[in-house]
């Protein structure tokens, strides 16, 4: 399942929105009109949302298209700037970047970052080290990775890190439309104690966040199922086994198609802050800085894609 838009599709969409016609967009991009049409069709299929209406020889953006365009212009500029930074990096920057990331980031954020990075700097090797939150901090402190995609840590660890903010998300309950909680727009409230929660990870950072949330709300978590991947969590939720605890941007197509419904955990939201982290005192090379820039651009694109798919 694709949740991050291909940058070439996004570029075709922006050109079409600016010009108002497939013919003019093709001329701007120096491609065939058919190529633009295929790119827009693929983009709409990826997002499960119609982006343009065809009115004679002209096009008009739908509500989802207008929403995506607002983000697309800024994102494309940031990607161009990041590519320029990569291309001007000198050979002294080194030919290898070591990156640590958890399961969710590896599956949803990093693939587009790595693709864009390699297109601008194909001779640089990227070594990816997967791991949970605590493992990523160990890799950073031991000098085994240069960068890590992490959630904002405890203050004791924060003192030793430089954090580059990427985006904020919210952990919510994703349930099947047939689930009893699907009709409770304000959250299940006391019924949470009687239900089953499905978490990604095995006693990891997510489990700790959710457990702390329920302790502060003076509520019980009830039954808990822990699985190793986001896809497995979503499939279990779609089968009605329980309620997945995930950020909505990991389920853009499922929410758009109606196979899952998003409801809050409770009256108080459970928010998380994503960052690129590196150890204090370690100066990033220009190549590493460009990689961080691409992470930032792709994170914004991921958010925009999820909003367009749902909206």
Give pLDDT tens digits for 42-83.
888 888 888 999 887 788 999 988 888 888 888 888 888 887
Can you give the residue range of the structural domain that contains 49? 7-86
Confidence of residue 154 (pLDDT cuts 50, 70, 90): low
Query: pLDDT value at position 310?
Result: 44
pTM of the model as a whole: 0.68
Residues 265 and 187 in one domain: yes
Residues 153 and 267 in one domain: no
Query: pLDDT value at position 104?
Result: 86
Tell whether the model's pLDDT for residue 90 goes beyond 60.
no
Tell whether the model's pLDDT for residue 156 goes beyond 60.
no
How confident is the prediction for the chain on average, in pLDDT?
A: 84
- Domain count for the chain: 3
Residues 161 and 200 in one domain: no
> Which residues are CB-neighbours of 211 under 8 A, at least 6 positions away?
221
Residues 175 and 263 in one domain: yes
- Please state, in angstroms and as integers, the Cα–Cα distance from residue 111 to each residue in 5, 66, 116, 294, 302, following that order: 11, 26, 9, 11, 11
What percent of the chain clears pLDDT 90, i.e. is strictly above it?
26
Q: Are strands 58-61 and 52-55 parallel, antiparallel or unpaired?
A: antiparallel
Residues 207 and 224 in one domain: yes
Residues 126 and 190 in one domain: no
Query: pLDDT value at position 114?
Result: 92
Query: pLDDT value at position 121?
Result: 85
The answer to whether the CB of 132 falls within 8 A of the CB of 248 is: no
Query: pLDDT value at position 143?
Result: 87
For residue 2, tell me if it sits in a domain: no
What percent of the chain clears pLDDT 70, i.e. is strictly above it?
87
Residues 298 and 158 in one domain: yes
Tell whether the model's pLDDT for residue 307 goes beyond 60.
no
The answer to whether the CB of 306 falls within 8 A of the CB of 3 is: yes
Query: pLDDT value at position 1?
Result: 41
The answer to whether the CB of 311 falls within 8 A of the CB of 63 is: yes
> Which residues are CB-neighbours of 68 under 8 A, at least 6 positions away?
13, 47, 51, 304, 305, 307, 308
Query: pLDDT value at position 92?
Result: 46
Residues 162 and 288 in one domain: yes
Confidence of residue 260 (pLDDT cuts 50, 70, 90): very high
Report the C-alpha dihedral over residues 176, 182, 186, 192, rounded to 10 degrees. Answer: -70
Higher pLDDT, 49 or 185: 49
> What is the spatial distance between Cα 145 and Cα 79, in angstroms, rounded to a whole number?
24
Residues 24 and 155 in one domain: no
Residue 76 belongs to a domain with what CATH number?
Answer: 1.10.10.10
Higher pLDDT, 302 or 249: 249
Least confident segment among 5-9, 139-143, 209-213, 263-267? 5-9
Residues 136 and 154 in one domain: yes
Residue 295 belongs to a domain with what CATH number?
Answer: 3.40.190.10
Query: pLDDT value at position 149?
Result: 94
Confidence of residue 303 (pLDDT cuts 50, 70, 90): low
Among 86, 117, 147, the domain-final residue is 86
> Which residues are CB-neighbours of 290 under 8 A, at least 6 positions away?
82, 83, 85, 86, 89, 117, 120, 121
> What is the spatial distance between Cα 115 and Cα 78, in angstroms, rounded to a whole number?
15
């Amino acid at each position: 399942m694709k949740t991050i838009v291909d940058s070439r599709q996004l570029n075709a969409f922006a050109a079409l929105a600016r010009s108002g016609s497939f013919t003019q967009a093709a001329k701007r991009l120096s491609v065939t009109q058919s190529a633009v049409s295929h790119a827009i069709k693929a983009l709409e299929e990826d997002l499960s949302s119609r982006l343009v209406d065809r009115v004679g020889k002209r096009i008009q953006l739908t509500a989802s298209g207008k929403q995506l365009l607002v983000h697309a212009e800024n994102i494309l500029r940031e990607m161009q700037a990041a590519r320029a930074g990569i291309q001007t990096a000198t050979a002294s920057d080194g030919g290898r970047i070591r990156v640590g990331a958890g399961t969710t980031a590896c599956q949803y954020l990093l693939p587009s970052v790595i693709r864009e990075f390699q297109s601008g700097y194909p001779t640089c090797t990227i070594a990816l080290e997967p791991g949970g939150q605590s493992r990523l901090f160990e890799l950073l402190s031991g000098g085994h990775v240069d960068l890590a995609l992490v959630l904002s840590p405890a203050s004791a660890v924060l003192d030793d890190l430089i954090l580059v903010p990427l985006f904020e998300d919210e952990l919510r309950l994703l349930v099947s439309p047939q689930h009893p909680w699907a009709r409770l727009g304000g959250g299940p409230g006391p019924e949470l104690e009687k239900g089953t929660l499905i978490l990604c990870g095995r006693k990891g950072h997510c489990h700790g966040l959710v457990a702390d949330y329920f302790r502060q709300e003076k509520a019980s978590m009830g039954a808990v199922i822990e699985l190793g991947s986001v896809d497995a969590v979503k499939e279990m939720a779609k089968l009605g086994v329980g309620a997945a605890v995930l950020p909505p941007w990991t389920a853009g197509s499922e929410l758009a198609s109606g196979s899952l419904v998003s409801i809050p955990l409770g009256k108080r939201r459970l928010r998380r802050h994503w960052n690129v982290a590196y150890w204090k005192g370690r100066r990033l090379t220009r190549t590493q800085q460009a990689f961080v820039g691409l992470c930032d651009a792709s994170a914004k694109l991921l958010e925009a894609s999820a909003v367009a798919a749902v909206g």
